[in-house]
Chain A
Amino acid sequence: DTEVTQTPKHLVMGMTNKKSLKCEQHMGHRAMYWYKQKAKKPPELMFVYSYEKLSINESVPSRFSPECPNSSLLNLHLHALQPEDSALYLCASSQARKGEQYFGPGTRLTVT
Chain B
Amino acid sequence: GIQVEQSPPDLILQEGANSTLRCNFSDSVNNLQWFHQNPWGQLINLFYIPSGTKQNGRLSATTVATERYSLLYISSSQTTDSGVYFCVHGSSNTGKLIFGQGTTLQVKP
Contacts and interface: CB of A to CB of B under 8 A. Distances in A.
B41 A105 contact: yes
Interface residues of A, number: 25
Nearest to B101: A42
Contact of B33 (A45, A101, A108): A101
A23 B2 CA distance: 29
A90 interface: yes
B90 A45 contact: no
24 contacts: A37-B41, A42-B100, A42-B101, A43-B43, A43-B99, A45-B96, A45-B97, A48-B95, A56-B94, A88-B41, A90-B41, A90-B43, A96-B95, A98-B90, A98-B91, A98-B92, A99-B95, A100-B48, A100-B90, A101-B33, A101-B90, A103-B42, A106-B41, A106-B42
B69 interface: no
Contact of B102 (A42, A55, A99): A42
Given A42-B100, A42-B101, A42-B102, A97 B42 contact: no
Interface of B: 31, 33, 35, 40-43, 45, 48, 86, 90-97, 99-102
Interface of A: 2, 31, 37, 42-43, 45, 48, 50, 55-56, 88, 90, 92, 94, 96-103, 105-106, 108
Name the prevailing secondary structure of the A interface residues.
strand
Q: Which of B45, B92, B97 has the most CB atoms of chain A within a 10 A radius of its CB?
A: B97
A56 B92 CA distance: 14
B86 A42 contact: yes
A72 B97 CA distance: 21
Given A42-B102, A105-B40, A100 B45 contact: yes
Contacts of B35: 103
Given A43-B99, A101-B90, 20 more contacts: A31-B95, A37-B41, A42-B86, A42-B100, A43-B43, A43-B97, A48-B94, A48-B96, A56-B96, A96-B95, A98-B31, A98-B95, A100-B33, A100-B48, A100-B90, A102-B45, A103-B35, A105-B40, A105-B41, A105-B42
